[in-house]
Chains A and B, each alone.
Chain A
Amino acid sequence: MSTPLLELREVTKRFRGLVAVDHVSFTVGAGEIIGIIGPNGSGKTTTFSCVSGFLVPEEGDILFEGTSIRGHRPSDIALRGVARTFQVVQPFEDLSVVENVVIGALRGGSVDLGEARDYAREVTEFVGLGPVAEQLAGSLTIPGRKRLEIAKALATRPKLLLLDEVMAGLRPSEVDLAIGLVRAIRDKGITVVLVEHLMRAVMALSERLLVLDHGALIAQGDPRTVIADEAVVEAYFGKAHAHA
């Protein structure tokens, strides 16, 4: 078996008493689209933060392309090919949309500025922000900001893209566009892990589904099988429902 693109081994992250991520293990193969679901506060964002280096897990290990990245700086992990978006979007508000994307395209300064500008323009068009490329990022609406979040991450030319609730707050028609965008990203050969509450999007996109509850991975596998799983129903709707 070839080494998976990403592997989490018994990853545990605590905030004082609270176990936000509890001995979570899973692998992500190259080319997959994986969905992660779970109730609010179940540790989805914390898992992303551990993988992207913003948090260091107390226990366990995280391997990217077979090498441990646990404890590496976020910028180093990003340059290795792991890009993430933030659930609470993080634009550089005083810069234009395309300049925001240029910053990603610079890959930490290793790419020449002219080249980064060209690539940023291409990515800006790709995510559908072409018409507003020269506007200040701070002036974008919610869907625009979510797209910009994706564009910045994509501009770093990642192998793995972690999308944290990029569809939250979108209208149904915008969700359809976003689903199309994620598919197009995967078609570029980028592996996607997607955290999303919106079941329609999760079911449409995921090839495999992971369920977190109170920090623990309670189910994983084929999306249809997983959502019918008793433990998953229980986590979402409570015990009574599961036995009904």
Chain B
Amino acid sequence: MKLSNWLDWQLVAGCIVILVAAGIGVSSPSEYVVQVITLGALYAAVATAWSIAGGMGGLLLLGIISFFGVGAYVNGILFTKYGISPWINLMLGFLVAAALGRLIAALTLRFGLSEDYFAMFTVGISQVLKHLLLNWEYAGQATGIYITIIQDDFWMMSFVSRKPYLLIGLALLLGIVVITYLIQRSELGYRLAAVRLNNQAAEALGIDSVRTKTHAIVLSAGLSGMVGAFYSQFSTFIDPAQVFSLATNFEMLLGAVLGGRLTIIGPLLGSAALKPIQDVMRGLMGGGADALYLVFYGGLLVASCLLLPKGIAQYIQNWHKRHYAKSAPAEKQALAGEIK
């Protein structure tokens, strides 16, 4: 682990940001602050998970909320109907969402769906799921699912205080950040870069681009599902409109794009920067203005794709390069360290 290496530096910086957030949250007397940090961590966690497929893999996996929502329902149903521990449901949320990702990959990639149709398909799936759940009586239809928490029970992830949720949320985020770091440094990181940068050249060198993209989608999907499963336990209430909301979907993506989807730290910082804006927006527009958010975030997403294609993290990376070029002679950078 060397700070002069951009990947290592990002991991360390990410850990520090998460620790600071934990410190502020734990010491804050305000329930509101704890709530905001926890939600911010969850958005950042999904944004980071998305960046595996959406950043490293260069895939327009726009409908990330599908996996989040499915994960939320996995815990919602299994916890309330069968009393299964949310800790187990995090894993099951991962598996079910990953399976959905696998299915979407199978339906789109082998048939060579073009990029824009792939993007639309993934968004479409989220709305199909929303409507399925709106009509599924067992899952509460439009009323959704309420989770009642009466007393502290660690095994059932039930806490009267909000602070344990904050810590679990941040731990999830940390876990996902570490996973993206490990992927960037691994053989999969090279395969994803190859497929993103030149699909044809990758195939010519023996990289099965369909298999590689499938791996990325499954990982992004599974991790988002895990976060969704935790979200339902934390919020104690889910309904289809909320966990398959396109406004939330684009808020999450915006964090990743604004922050820099090719980096580890980008989605984390982007989400953190966006959180206050989101709250102001919600305050200005009031509840139920989903369509307005959508226009706003959609616009912001397009603008940041055009104006800041590599995100805020690009500036940090440039600084990092200059800083360590001065203090140490040309250090060999790992894969993503070279991505301009």
CB within 8 Å of B: which residues of A?
52-54, 73-76, 78-79, 83-84, 86, 90-96, 99, 102-104, 106-109, 112-113, 116, 134, 136, 152-153, 155-156
* B206–A113 CB distance below 8 A: no
Can you sample 21 A-B contacts with CB below 8 Å?
A54-B203, A73-B210, A74-B204, A75-B209, A78-B206, A90-B204, A92-B193, A92-B194, A92-B197, A94-B340, A95-B335, A96-B333, A103-B191, A103-B193, A103-B205, A106-B205, A112-B187, A113-B186, A116-B187, A153-B205, A156-B206
* A104 pairs with B197, CB closer than 8 A: no
8 Å CB contact of B335 from A78, A99, A108: A99
B interface residue numbers (CB < 8 A to A): 186-188, 190-191, 193-194, 197-198, 200-210, 212, 330, 332-333, 335, 338-340
Partner among B194, B208, B209, B332 whose Cβ is within 8 Å of the Cβ of A134? B332
Option from B190, B202, B333, B339 in Cβ contact (under 8 Å) with A113: B190
The secondary structure that dominates the B interface is helix
B340 touches A76 (CB 8 A): no
Establish whether residues B206 and A108, one from each chain, have CB atoms under 8 Å apart when the complex forms.
yes
Nearest A residue to B334 by beta-carbon distance? A99
Interfacial chain A residues near B193, Cβ < 8 Å: 92, 94-95, 99, 103
The answer to whether B197 touches A93, judged by C-beta atoms less than 8 angstroms apart, is yes
Contacts of A73 in B (CB 8 A): 203, 208, 210
A96 CB to nearest chain B CB (Å): 5
Separation of A62 and B206 alpha carbons in the complex (Å): 18
Contact check, A109 vs B191: say whether CB atoms are below 8 A apart.
Answer: yes
Q: Is the CB of A94 within 8 A of B188?
A: no
Extra contacts besides A86-B200, A106-B205 (20): CB < 8 Å = A54-B204, A73-B208, A74-B200, A75-B202, A75-B203, A79-B206, A86-B201, A90-B200, A90-B204, A92-B197, A95-B338, A95-B339, A96-B333, A99-B190, A104-B205, A104-B206, A109-B188, A109-B207, A136-B340, A153-B204
Interface centre among A103, A104, A116, A134 (most CB of B within 10 A): A103
> Closest residue to A149 on the B side, CB-wise?
B201
Tell me, rounded to whole Å, the shortest Cβ–Cβ distance linking B309 to chain A: 13
Find out whether the CB atom of A103 lies under 8 angstroms from the CB atom of B190.
Answer: yes
Q: A83–B190 contact, CB under 8 A? A: no
A93 to B193, CA, bound (A): 11
**Given contact pairs A106-B190, A109-B187, A90 touches B338 in the complex (Cβ within 8 A):** no
Q: Which residues of B contact A95 (CB under 8 A)?
A: 193, 197, 335, 338-339
Instruction: Give the most central of A75, A106, A134, A153: most B CB within 10 Å.
Output: A75
Q: How far is the CA of A84 from the CA of B201 in the complex (A)?
A: 10
CB-CB nearest 5 A-B residue pairs: A90-B201, A78-B206, A108-B206, A74-B203, A92-B197
Complex alpha-carbon distance, A136 and B335, angstroms: 11
Smallest CB gap from A52: residue in B: B204
Q: Are A94 and B197 in contact (CB under 8 A)?
A: yes
Distance in Å from the Cβ of A85 to the closest Cβ of chain B? 8
Residues in chain B near residue A86, CB distance under 8 A: 200-201, 204
Closest Cβ of chain A to B277, distance in Å, is 30
Residues of B contacting A104 with CB < 8 Å?
205-206
B340 partner residues in chain A, CB cutoff 8 A: 94, 136
Contacts of A134 in B (CB 8 A): 330, 332
Tell me the bound Cα distance from A86 to B201 in angstroms: 9
The docked-state distance in angstroms from the alpha carbon of A109 to that of B194 is 12
Task: List the A side residues contacting B187 at CB < 8 Å.
Answer: 106, 109, 112-113, 116
Nearest chain A CB to B4's CB is how many angstroms away? 14
CB-based contact A94/B339 at 8 Å: yes
Q: Assuming A109-B191, A134-B332, A136-B338, is B198 touching A90 (CB within 8 A)?
A: yes
CB-nearest residue of chain B to A112: B187
A116-B189 Cα distance, complex, nearest whole Å: 13
Q: Is the CB of A156 within 8 A of B339?
A: no
**Min CB distance, A62 to chain B, in Å?**
16
Whole-angstrom distance between the alpha carbons of A74 and B203 in the complex? 6
Interface pair B194/A78, CB less than 8 Å apart = no
Residues of A within 8 A of B333 (CB): 96
Report chain A residues within 8 Å CB of B335: 95, 99
Report A-chain residues with C-beta under 8 Å of the C-beta of B210. Answer: 73
Chain A residues contacting B207 (CB-CB under 8 Å) are 75, 103, 106, 108-109
Q: How far is the CA of A156 from the CA of B203 in the complex (A)?
A: 12
Asked whether, in the complex, the Cβ of A156 is within 8 Å of the Cβ of B205, the reply is yes
Residues from chain B with a CB closer than 8 A to the CB of A155 are 205
Docked-complex contact B197 and A75, CB < 8 angstroms: no
Whole-angstrom CA separation of A171 from B188 in the bound complex: 38
CA distance A221 to B193 in the complex (A): 43
Instruction: Give complex CA distance A86, B202 in Å.
Output: 12
- A106 to B205: give the CA distance in the assembly, Å: 9
Residues of A near B205 (CB, < 8 A) are 75, 78, 83, 103-104, 106, 108, 152-153, 155-156
What separation, in Å, do the CA atoms of A78 and B186 have in the docked complex? 21
